[in-house]
Amino acid sequence: MRVPSGEQLHVEYGTALQAFTARLPQGWRTMTSGGTPITWQEFSSPGTLPVQGWKLHVSAAATDVLDLVEIVLPRLVETGTTFKVAADVSTVIRLNAGLAGRSQVGKIVTAYPVSDEVLAGLVDRLDAAWRPLRSPAVPSDVPVGSGGALFVRYGAFMGTGSVTDTTGVIHPALRTPNGELHPDVRTTQGNQPRWATLPVRPAAARGPASPGALVEIDGVAYFPLKALAADHRGRVDLGLRVSDGTLIVIRRRFRGVEGDEFGNDAISRLDNERLVLLRLRGSGIAHELVAHDPEAGCLVVTDGGGLRLERFPAQRRLEQLPDLAETVARLHAQGLVHRDLKLSNTRLGPDALRLVDLELAAPSGTEKPIPVGTPAYVAPEGVHATVRPPYDVYSLGSCITHAVLGQCPGGLPQRNNAGRQIGLLRHYRLRTAASLVKECHSPDAERRPTARDLTQRLKDALPALQAESAAAPHAVLDTFDVRWARAAAVSAGLASRRFRVGRDGTYHWGDPSRHAHVSEGLNGGVAGILVSLATLNTALRIGQFTDDIRGAAEWLAERPAAVKAHGLFTGNSGVAVALAVAGRLLGRADLLDAARRRFEYAASSRILDYDLFSGAAGIVWAGRLLDAVLGTGWGSGLVEQQVRRIHKAAGRFDGVVGWPANIEYDSSGGVYVGAAHGTAGIAMALAGWGGATGCAATVQLAGEALHSIAEHGLTDDGSNIRATVSGSTMPAHTWCHGAAGFLWCLLQSGHASAVPDTAMVESIATKFDRAMPFLANPSMCHGVGGMLETWRMLRALPGHRARASRRIGHLVGILRLLHHAYEGATVWSSDQPAVVAPDLWVGFTGPAVQLALAANGSSAPVISPDWLQKCASPPAGP
């Protein structure tokens, strides 16, 4: 077998796939599907596929792809089996790296046998011929055959429809033997439908032993005590050596995962780390090597204790920067380069700071290193460059940014990432840090300081770094460029058209490379985008998006109501609100009728959730929104049964008035506190309904719930709410589970029925101000968009106008630094920097509407009675 070079493999695989396609028998069809980053080449036989059945997945490493074309694909064609295969080597690498999701690892070929008999025959034929050495296991499947490269899963084949669960998540549908539709869910435990009988004998699962199993290497036993990390690559456990009780760390990796075109994978990288640790033995730079089992993919090192440097408070992070640079200088003196240097790959223990995760490290001068890196830390010379110490110095620059801002710069858009880091530092008047980062990030590697020189510069600069960091929260301007905000908002609205799909004049938005099915909800679907565009029209006093609104509303009106998803953000209630806004705006009785039908269906449901996001409280709040839009009391009247259900289910949990979560959201039935899934959002909905209907008991329950959060649901320092009554927390700036969402609910509750007192709002807002991060992702749900909405609302309160104006100016400035171009238009990334989507709550139209509302001077939240009433009002005539 000839093995081409890694670079040549990409070309030769494409050539081999083209040649294979040219030899297909008559009647076969082929097409390319998907898109960046996962692309498939589909091969369809002349026969008809069943709608569902047992899929066969053939696993392979990137280095196996030429053999895959020669051995596996012809056998599929010989049996008349429809299949798809990764269209290029990059797709193989991304799949095996988990970039399409953990459950998709190893699925290089997916075959669709027309019967159980054909499947059994294929397994026998392929198992005899296909025995790759580095193919990863497929986590969602049952292993079959004895070669370790064949896996099966029962699932939908093509065109079987979809099922939306109660939380609004859309799944492909499976039909049970009794005719019911159930979601086709891919787990990472290999679970299959109970009613699907496996037609072939399962094989023994391979890979690391079960999490709590004893590990034995060279006759020495190690016992795992506590999981420290687990992902698609494997797991890391704190453990002890049984013979003497010494604490150690056990790192285990799966075969074939994160494999590349050069033959590296997670296990070979572990072996590379072993070699590096041997070279560093006794240096104090890293933990000491204890044991290694290459067959099992297991490495044992000493436990030095301590935490990642990113976990420490800001001033402590800054204090350690000289030590970090000095440790890197010592590593370079040993002739080694780390190549994945970041704060998460450090451990600050009681005696020293050490470097960890040296899987990518290499001796200086290595010409073909492992070509992997972390975004924002990879130097301009790239991961394929000959290994030199300046590569680490570039990474140290990004470590400085992280230490100063408290947020990993990997969350910034990758285009001009270095410039964005410097821009953010200057935005906060962090001039000393900006200067140091600029030096470290010089495009010319020879112009970067050495790690030893940087150590001294950091020592000299430490007082200035600390002083500027302490002053930074108050150093931003309280104004912003209104013209830019308006222009960026309009451009993002236009960018949504890049994702628009039209048919017969109706529109919806979708991204087939990410989702097979279109979502309807306010959170991440058509209804939310419709509301976004209506907001842009209203706030900016333009009519540019009226046709988009019309087309989206007509598409929604044609759709049947979701069977299970009735919530405000995830289902029928939110769709009804969007249809009502469009119906009033356009003067369309048919759209208003569609809104009423949707909402009547939702209001009569016995939904399992009680929360604002996908449950009963969201239905109640939607009733208030509909009444504002339609100018009636109809919506509030319909939801009375949901209000009664919420009253009945209320309880006290560690002092907080709360409601148990739906098990589809949290299988433990935890009790949440925040806006999306907990007490704050439910209380807001109750306050609004009680104030509108004059129900004193409901207003009282809402008030008790809100006050119980202030008294029993805050963190110890009072700057945040607990995410759950059990004590878990999310960052304070998040809308869903943080203090930002709590304030959002408090302020809307007060507007509805004067439930919260001024002192409560004042206290929470003051502490929230102190907890504001320097940087977050752009979204409404988890980042800058949601913070900007909260501060716009606070600007309406006399005691907060100056502070709120300053925060609004600084948040608009951050959005300006976070924006990037998509096909020439302005967009922002979602929670994941590589994902761009036009959604309201988790996509780029959320930041756009916040810019528009800030430029308008509005203090109204988007999903509020007052604002949606304005959006639904037809523009005044000339």
Residue ranges for the known binding site for Zn(2+) are 736, 781-782
Closest CA to 190 of 271, 256, 103, 124: 103
CA-only gyration radius of the chain, Å: 29
Residue 779 token pair: 């979204």
Residues 503, 203: Cα–Cα separation, whole Å: 48
Selection from 196, 176, 398, 383 nearest residue 309 by Cα? 398
| Alpha-carbon span 645 to 287, nearest angstrom | 56
**Is the C-alpha dihedral spanning 14, 18, 23, 28 positive or negative?**
positive
Cβ–Cβ < 8 Å for 141, 152: yes
Q: Which residues pair with 44 in a beta bridge?
A: 29
Tokens describing residue 276: 């590096």
Q: d(Cα 577, Cα 568) in Å, to the nearest integer?
A: 8
Phi and psi of 246, rounded to 5°?
-70, 135
Residue 395 CB coordination number (10 Å): 26
Q: What is the 3-state secondary structure (H, E, C) of 727-766?
A: CCCCCCCCCCCCHHHHHHHHHHHHHHHCCCCHHHHHHHHH
Cβ 47 vs Cβ 27: under 8 Å = no
Round to whole Å and give the CA distance between 17 and 69. Answer: 7
Angle at 799 between CA 798 and CA 803, to 5 degrees: 105
- Give the tokens for residue 737: 């589970």
Residues 6+ apart with CB under 8 A from 469: 314, 315, 318, 404, 430, 433
Task: Could you list the residues known to form a binding site, using ranges.
Answer: 736, 781-782
Other CB atoms within a 10 A radius of the CB of residue 552 amount to 27
The answer to whether the CB of 674 falls within 8 A of the CB of 612 is no
Nearest to 27 by CA among 76, 77, 72: 77
Structure tokens at 614: 């996908």
Residues 380, 394: Cα–Cα separation, whole Å: 9
Strand order in the sheet with 162-164: 162-164, 170-175, 181-183
3-state helix, strand, coil in the chain (%, to 5): 45, 15, 40
Cα dihedral value 364, 357, 395, 280, nearest 10: -40
